[in-house]
Amino acid sequence: MSLAEALATANGAPPRFVDIRFDAAKRPVRCSGNTVVCHRRDAAGRAAIADLVAKIAEGPAGDCHAFTPERSWHMTVYDGLLHDRRAPGFWPADLPVDASDDQADAFVLSRLADLPALDEPVTMHATGLFGWEHHALGLALAAGSARQEQALRRFRAACAERLGMADRPGHDDYRFHLTLGYLIAWPDPATARAADGAMDALAPRLGDLVPPFELGPPELCLFDNMTLFRPV
């Protein structure tokens, strides 16, 4: 979905993550939990993403986004628990729904303490920019081969089975990505169309702007918001 289409279907409501991920002043809002990610730690990779973010931030509708900081850039391998999402299907059946946040983290740490290794090194490729339909913006990523994709899916399945969450909605068709930012305000229609044009112009250059990269080891992390994921 384009930004212009997202704007047209908003019906006057603010972007969905305002005061959930960031506030209207671009300050992070508490949104805590645990997750398994691979950080972008290589200097060249971080520099490439920083250049891409700068191009977007300086372009049309750039000021309508709160961008995630460099230290947070990662690809989620297994999306763990959000402390405030405790609905059936998104919370382990054998973890009390009224467990404290610390108890929820301890539960996940105990189940994933000896995380399985990825079967083989995995190289990821940027395949496009995504997210305005979700009121966010990021890089869509794909593994370099079907075999590597299967290795990632096996890893996710192992984590889900340990937590008793193999049936979580969206688990099987989870799309790998790297989040760059969130919409915190709507542009006017003309600016939205200009932003769509700028993204279309970037798309053919993504392979050069963000070269393929090898994933580092998966890290079990805790987070308080979208600006820092602390490996434990």
Tens of pLDDT along 128-177?
Answer: 988 788 899 999 999 999 999 999 999 999 999 999 999 999 999 899 99
> So where are the chain's domains?
3-231
Rounded alpha-carbon distances, angstroms, from residue 41 to 44, 50, 81, 172, 181? 9, 13, 24, 27, 18
* CB-facing half-sphere around the CA of 156: CA atoms within 13 A: 23
26's CB contacts (< 8 A; 6+ apart) are 66, 184
Backbone angles phi, psi at 96, to 5 degrees: -55, 140
How many other CB atoms are found less than 10 A from the CB of residue 181? 24
Q: Which residues are 220's β-sheet partners?
A: 36
Q: Is the pLDDT of residue 37 over 90?
A: yes
Say whether 134 sits in a helix, a strand or coil.
helix
Q: Does domain 3-231 have CATH number 2.40.110.10?
A: no
For 101, 107, 110, 155, 165, the CA distances from 113, given in Å and listed in that order, are: 18, 10, 5, 14, 16
Give the integer Cα–Cα distance in Å for 12 and 8. Answer: 9
Q: In the chain, pLDDT over 90 holds for what percent of residues?
A: 82
Question: Do residues 142 and 176 lie in contact, with contact meaning Cβ atoms separated by under 8 Å?
Answer: yes
User: Per residue in 178-215, pLDDT tens?
Assistant: 999 999 999 999 999 999 999 999 989 998 999 999 88
pTM over 0.85, yes/no:
yes
Task: Indicate if the pLDDT at residue 97 is higher than 80.
Answer: yes
Helices and strands of the chain, counted as H and E runs: 6, 9
Q: What whole-number distance in Å separates Cα of residue 190 and Cα of residue 195? A: 9
Average pLDDT over residues 1-28: 94
pLDDT surpassing 80 at residue 40: yes
109 pLDDT band, cuts 50/70/90, is very high
Q: What's the whole-number mean pLDDT along residues 115-125?
A: 84
What pLDDT is stored for residue 32 in this prediction? 98
Question: What does the CA dihedral 104, 110, 111, 117 come to, rounded to 10 degrees?
Answer: 120
Which neighbouring-strand residues pair with 74? 39
